[in-house]
Structure 1
Amino acid sequence: MGLARIWATILMTPCAYFWGRKWNLLDLVTAAMFVSIHILCLFAPFYLSWTGFFLALVLGNTTAMAVTLSYHRNLAHRSFRLPKFLEYFFAYIAVLSGHGSPIEWVSTHRHHHQYTDTEKDAHSPLKGFWFSHMGWILDSNRRFGRYGGLRNVDDLKRQSFYKFLHHTFLLHSFILGVILYAVGGFPFIVWGMGVRMVAVYHGSLAVNSAGHTWGYQAWNTGDLSKNLWWLGVLADGEGWHNNHHAFEYSARLGLEWWQIDTTWYFIKFLEVLGLATEVKQPSEAQKKRKALEAKTTIASHEISYGD
């Protein structure tokens, strides 16, 4: 048994029981990290400064967009292609968000699309709003055991860079914290790690919870995904979630001109520079076909109810 497998076994072995379930070491470490960064936020009023605010703003927007651009649209859905050096660069910036490794994130998201809003969905609000927002992250045995672990990300597991990030992702955030402390002391930790990570976490996690609870459906996707305008603005375009579930291959989620999608704007900029290629988005014919399928489904339901 290799060292990595031994370490994984240690992390996943139940070691505590409270709140009606078993907790392993990974769950406890994850919970401790969440609590720690939220506690750091409590110090923000005492270290209030424009420098700290702009640090959180710039670093937060950078790492948040890296998650949507790299983890989500590039790696999970292959909505566009990048040169390897740029693909790895954006993936590394996304690691600094604290959202876990690319392998784990992409695996969970692909399973989410495979089993959307069913018992096997990792974070459906069918199990409660809190569960879909944060609770699912704190139950790794259920999360990985429900659909058999990391079996749908062989494309990433074949690459040494992603395997390295998978085993060291916490280390990189720690290094960033050390650098911030060396440059600006404890105030930079409060704003650059605490405030920034809490804002990015809840903005991203709201796509799983609010994005499947509130808003409207432009497409009949057979799930609870919604388009939510304020989430579209706050989450770099991810809030147009019903659009995404209708056309999950699309690099563009804000399909209407008025649907703000800052990640798409950046992808388009990379395409103009010749750095993003094979950029996918639904054609008008595909949209009409999807709309026709929806009308057919609704009509069949009405006939069924009439009988």
Structure 2
Amino acid sequence: MTQQLIAPKSQPSTQPEAQPEEKLELSWVNIFVFASFHLIALTAPWFFSWSALGVAIFFHWLCGSIGICLAYHRILTHRSLEVPKWLERILVTCGALALQGGPIFWVAGHSLHHAHTEDNDRDPHSAKKGFWWSHMGWLMYKQDKYFDYDQYKKYAPRADRDPYYRWLNKNFILVQIALGLALLAIGGWSFVIYGIFVRVVTLWHCTWFVNSATHFWGYKNFECEDGSLNNWWVGILAYGEGWHNNHHFNPRVAKAGQRWWEIDVTWWAIQVLKSLGLAKKIVS
């Protein structure tokens, strides 16, 4: 039986302009980049060391839970809490290290997903187009309305007002290169393979499962107008983001897991920041 745990609130009001359906053209640059990262990650067994694995796990958490889930998602996109500006910029930089696009691009795409969930023309990764499309297929095509800065920036106006975020949106790859050089200097190619390629590829899929798997398999705590579901294994892999039905029912709530057993690792980080007096105006 469906159990309502929190009162519904209005959905985001982002309203992109209707555009005619475009004929999709493959983005060979994107395909090359994604394929290269996956192939290099597959060389990991020949570079294994326990310290390198530890580096991968640490940066997976730092870039995933702190960078994407906390900074990009709950702070920048939904404004579920506030932190000091200096700290926000540090956290957002961790998000840029996830190699999932700059902050303005990410916020704009996610805002459109919430405003037009499963709309084949306006949701960038609509699950109604199939698992493959929602998981990663949408990234393999040229779609200016989602990938051209001049078109998508209007869906992330707050982030776009920040000059540092505008710089980071254009230069997030430079931050990744800097990290790669640092890892090379500290631990050699083993650290680079695990700290960059293994970490980036596994984190990509953990994030993509939120777009795909949580619209195909799981359960509902709340009745929503879309097909969002709670998926326990995505909840674990994606640091709490897998409780997607909870999140879609009330996107601004800072805590994604609503039942006692719905583990939300990112919420734990928010609690730590709150105890240190660094997180305020937490939406509950």
Match of 2:224, SS?
coil
Alignment partners' CA distance in 1, 2:250 and 2:221 = 12
Alpha-carbon separation, structure 2, partners of 1:21 and 1:226: 29
Give the one of 139, 153, 172 matched to 2:141: 139
Given the alignment of the two structures, is residue 164 of structure 1 paired with residue 144 of structure 2, yes or no? no
In 1, distance between residues paired with 2:142 and 2:104? 15
By how many angstroms is 1:138 displaced? 2.0
- Counterpart CA distance in 2 for 1:57 and 1:266 is 16
Stretch moving more, 189-198 or 179-188: 179-188
Deviations 1:4-28 (A, max 9, x none): xxxxxxxxxxxxxxxx9424xxx33
Paired residue for 2:57? Answer: 57
1:291 matched residue in structure 2? none
Tell me how far 1:30 sits from its aligned partner: 2.5
What is the identity percentage for the equivalent residue pairs of Structure 1 and Structure 2?
39
Matched to 1:42, the amino acid is L
Residues 115-146 of structure 1, C-alpha deviations (whole Å, 9 max, x = no match): 00112111012111111001112224255289
- 1:84-233 matches, within 5 Å, as 84-119=85-120, 120-141=122-143, 143-144=145-146, 148-233=151-236
Query: 1:205-253, CA deviations, whole angstroms, 9 ceiling, x for partnerless residues?
Result: 1000001111011111110100011111111100000000001010000
Residues 29 and 181 of structure 1: is their aligned pair in 2 closer, same or farther, counting only changes over 3 Å?
farther
Q: Aligned partners of 1:103, 1:138: CA distance in 2, in Å?
A: 19
Give deviations 1:92-125, integer Å, cap 9, x for gaps. 0111110110000000000000000112111012
Q: Cα gap change, 1:214/1:86 in structure 2, threshold over 3 Å: closer, same or farther? A: same
Correspondence 1:239 to 2:242: yes
Q: Distance in 2 between matches of 1:187 and 1:122?
A: 35
Cα RMSD between the aligned structures? 1.7
In the alignment, residue 235 of structure 1 is paired with which amino acid? Answer: A
Which has the higher Rg, Structure 1 or Structure 2?
A: 1
TM-score by length of 2: 0.87
**Partner residue, 1:264:** 267
Q: Which moved more, 1:137-146 or 1:214-223?
A: 137-146
Paired letter, 1:57: I
Distance apart, 1:273 and its partner CA: 1.4
The alignment's TM-score, normalised by the length of structure 1, stands at: 0.81
Q: Unmatched 5+ residue regions in structure 1?
A: 1-19, 282-307
- Output the CA distance in 1 between the equivalents of 2:45 and 2:92: 32
Partners of 1:29 and 1:52 lie apart in 2 by 29
- Give the aligned partner of residue 42 of structure 1: 42
Runs of 4+ in structure 1 displaced over 6 angstroms? none
Letter in 1 for 2:50: W
Give secondary structure in 1 for the equivalent of 2:152. Answer: coil
Between the two proteins, the alignment pairs up a number of residues equal to 259
CA distance in 2 between partners of 1:142 and 1:67 (Å): 23
Which consecutive residues of structure 2, in runs of 5 or more, have no partner in the other structure? 1-22
- Given that 2:74 and 2:80 are in contact with CA atoms closer than 8 Å, whether structure 1 keeps it comes out as yes
Larger relative CO (CA 8 A, sep 6+): 1 or 2? 2
Given that residues 217 and 231 in structure 2 are in contact (C-alpha distance below 8 angstroms), is that contact kept between their aligned partners in structure 1? yes
Query: Higher helix share goes to which structure?
Result: 1
Structure 1 residues 52 and 145, CA gap change in structure 2 (3 angstroms) = closer
